[in-house]
Amino acid sequence: MTVLIGHDDAWASWRSAMQGQRMHHAWLLAGGRGLGKAGFALAAAAELVAEDGVPQPEALAHPDIMLLERPPATSDDEKKREEGKPFNRKRNISVDQIRAMQRRLTTRPTLGARRAIIIDSADDLEKSAVNALLKSLEEPPAGCFFLLVAHRPGGLLPTVRSRCRQLRFHALSDERLAQVLAEQEPDAPAELRQAAIDAAQGSPGAALAFIEDELAPIARELRAIMRQGDPDFTRRGALAAAIGARPDRERLLASVRLAREICAEQARHAPRAHQMRLIDTHDRLVRLGAEIPYANFDPGLTVVEIGGLLAGAAAPKG
């Protein structure tokens, strides 16, 4: 039995449905990034397709578990990216991927009577892919079950949501996060684990990434900018040093996520006028983060932009 911290209610709902007479054919795993939805989907799919007395491979290698996700960049894409040239990486899960999945669904499962299809994430589906997927959700082949991971379920078509049973994944308490970090990062200093908890806003994935990617210095500089502003660009220089001279896109994305979390944290307690500025800054950081994986960009200017957005949202001097 797989146990994932913080998902007790989701597991109870899933296992209750498995024991029922007619299990729903489509599930929407909804909640913020880093809460463990994809891990839950893989573990739940493994339980779903398992047959008594039949040896089962790992979920990612299981012939009756299909995982659809955004295609990775090719080595040629990476070379073009490093040279600042346009590249053709697909941004989303394509209609071709959905159609390939549907062709496979015309065959029988390999090891048992059930097949699980995981889409990670449904937010990444192209419009034409969504329309193609709807056909399978409306008329699912016998024995086929869909698990759609969604970070922003409100952005999905109502016709998709209406065909799915929803499982909500909630942010963990600080105590639960501390348990995760104690188990998975036992060698991390206590101060670093606490900084990860403060930055993660209830997301175990974000907390673990904070430690693994050494994000504490970045968080410290972002918080300093938010508290004190940066009229002479000194703190933006310190932020650039913390992020590194030639940061890759993942480190820049992590920095944007931290900046967003700091904005959200401040907005919960700020006066109304300042709150609106923080919300606007958060929205601009979301847009910046959406551009980083695909656009040709100057890392140094991106760091300055991150710091500038936070400086512009800094608390007004009393």
| Tokens matching residue 288 | 């910046």
Among 20-24, 148-152, 194-198, 287-291, the range with the most confident prediction by mean pLDDT is: 148-152
Strands 65-69 and 115-120, sheet pairing: parallel
Is residue 124 pLDDT above 50, yes or no? yes
Is residue 32 pLDDT above 50, yes or no? yes
Is residue 99 pLDDT above 50, yes or no? yes
**Mean pLDDT (whole number) for 242-254:** 88
* pLDDT score recorded for residue 3: 40
Contact, 168 vs 35, CB < 8 A?
no
Instruction: Return the HEC string of the chain.
Output: CCCCCCCHHHHHHHHHHHCCCCCCCEEEEECCCCCCHHHHHHHHHHHHHCCCCCCCCCHHHCCCEEEEECCCCCHHHHHHHHCCCCCCCCCCECHHHHHHHHHHCCCCCCCCCCEEEEEECHHHECHHHHHHHHHHHHCCCCCEEEEEEECCHHHCCHHHHHCCEEEECCCCCHHHHHHHHHHHCCCCCHHHHHHHHHHHCCCHHHHHHHHHCCCHHHHHHHHHHHHHCCCCCHHHHHHHHHHCCCCCHHHHHHHHHHHHHHHHHHHCCCCHHHHHHHHHHHHHHHHHHHHCCCCCCCHHHHHHHHHHHHHHCCCCCC
**Mean pLDDT (whole number) for 101-127:** 94
**Mean pLDDT (whole number) for 262-288:** 90
* pLDDT score recorded for residue 212: 84
Question: Tell me: the pLDDT tens digits for 211-236?
Answer: 888 888 999 999 999 999 999 999 99
Strands 144-150 and 65-69, sheet pairing: unpaired
Distances (CA, A) of 295 to 70, 129, 274, 288, 292: 16, 23, 31, 10, 6
**Mean pLDDT (whole number) for 109-113:** 93
Q: How far apart are CA 29 and CA 55, in angstroms?
A: 27
- Of how many residues is the chain composed? 318
Is residue 191 pLDDT above 90, yes or no? no
Q: How far apart are CA 263 and CA 222, in angstroms?
A: 10
Q: Which residues contact 204 (CB under 8 A, 6 or more apart)?
A: 5, 6, 34, 35, 36, 172, 176, 177, 180
Check residue 121 and give left, alpha or beta (phi > 0: left; psi -120 to 50: alpha): beta
CA 68 to chain centre: 15
Question: Tell me: the pLDDT tens digits for 295-309?
Answer: 676 888 999 999 999
Cis peptide before 173 (omega within 30 of 0): no
Contact, 4 vs 39, CB < 8 A?
yes
Distances (CA, A) of 135 to 25, 87, 130, 227, 289: 13, 32, 9, 51, 32
